[in-house]
Structure 1
Amino acid sequence: MRYTGPKAKVCRREGVLIFDSPQISKAFNRRKYPPGMHGPKQVRVRMTEYGTQLRMKQRMKRAYGLTEKQFRKFFDIAARQKGDSGDNLLLMMELRLDNIVFRTGLAESRPQARQLVSHGHITVNGGKVDIPSYQVKIDDVVSIKESKREKPYFKNVLSQAKVATADWIMWEASKSEAKVMSHPELSNLKTLFDTRLIVEYYSR
């Protein structure tokens, strides 16, 4: 099942902010210690090697909002590709259409981005794509479906000029569209996700 519980609780357990949201960030910063502990001075229990690998797998899976079955499918594809399996997996997560919509700033969270895609509000190269896991490629153009742009939600998002993109995505405000210019720099993401541990987990 896809995790739908309290996201701040997950961040506290991980000891790092893995969900981008002002509300979650505020809750996390207020109590930067794991659930079940009664204050920051209580010592964390040392995890086993397997536990560390499992925790990292859960971290990435929950951050991108996937079920175990979906995440394992992506890992199997990544493992069959050339190059580092962990890098391949992380790149595939970032190139999911719902993640692109989130990175572009059209949604405040990945779950919201997934909903926008599933409801047919997003197009890729002019054609409607309602599959959140769709893999976007370099030079693809992602935009709001023209018939949906007058909806209050999109009018509000676009009027606030806060449609901030990742440095590998170019947003063109006049057309309400984003173009994928390159692949993301994975080294920045690896400070949050140690893909080596995930590869080790599935290689046991």
Structure 2
Amino acid sequence: MSIGGRIKELRGEMARHDFADLFGVARNTIQRYENDERTPDSVFIAALCNHFKITADWLISGEEPMHREALQPHPSLDYDYIPMVEAKLSAGGGSFVEAEGVQGYYAFRKDWLRRVATSVKDLVLMRVTGDSMTPNLQKNDTVLIDTNRKDIKEGEIYAIRYDYTIMVKRLAFRPGQKVLVISDNKTDFEPYEVAIQDLHVIGQVIFFSRSLIPEGI
């Protein structure tokens, strides 16, 4: 059963519009969640878990146990679950986060997220590819992107879409409605200017993490 099927199971006999009102979302949003046409955001996932006293692991992946009471006692930690998305373009320039692009969810402390992010529902995780941002960002690093922060600040790192490619770069304004796209690896990657209307800012990178050993070991 998919996450959409589990949401439908939780709704049970309740009318879809009543279920939507209960959680403060539109009825067609619930329909898209249940049909696996849209990936639920972390705020909705947390609301379901709190209301039905279920675990996020069960809701997201079907992993038992379903209910929190079945878990062994452990320290109470308050988490939000942020989607890891596949770095790919949507057909027709659509949304960056799509259901088929979500590879999993990762837990972050709520109190920390509220200090560093504008809104939890606007956060996504993405893997870094290539070596253009070394030494600061390396291949397979994980970056946390705040998609609500699109205003360019000189020298900050952003996830951007340009020329049919999604990438992570530093940005700086230049005269004539242009933006300078800057790689940290200046030895192999020269900075270049692009017209601001040709550049789509997905969001600002606000955190990154790195494994110190190869995956699978």
TM-score (norm 2): 0.29
- Larger % of strand: which? 2
Larger Rg: 2
* Bigger RCO of structures 1 and 2 (CA < 8 A, at least 6 apart): 1
- Larger % of helix: which? 1
TM-score (norm 1): 0.30
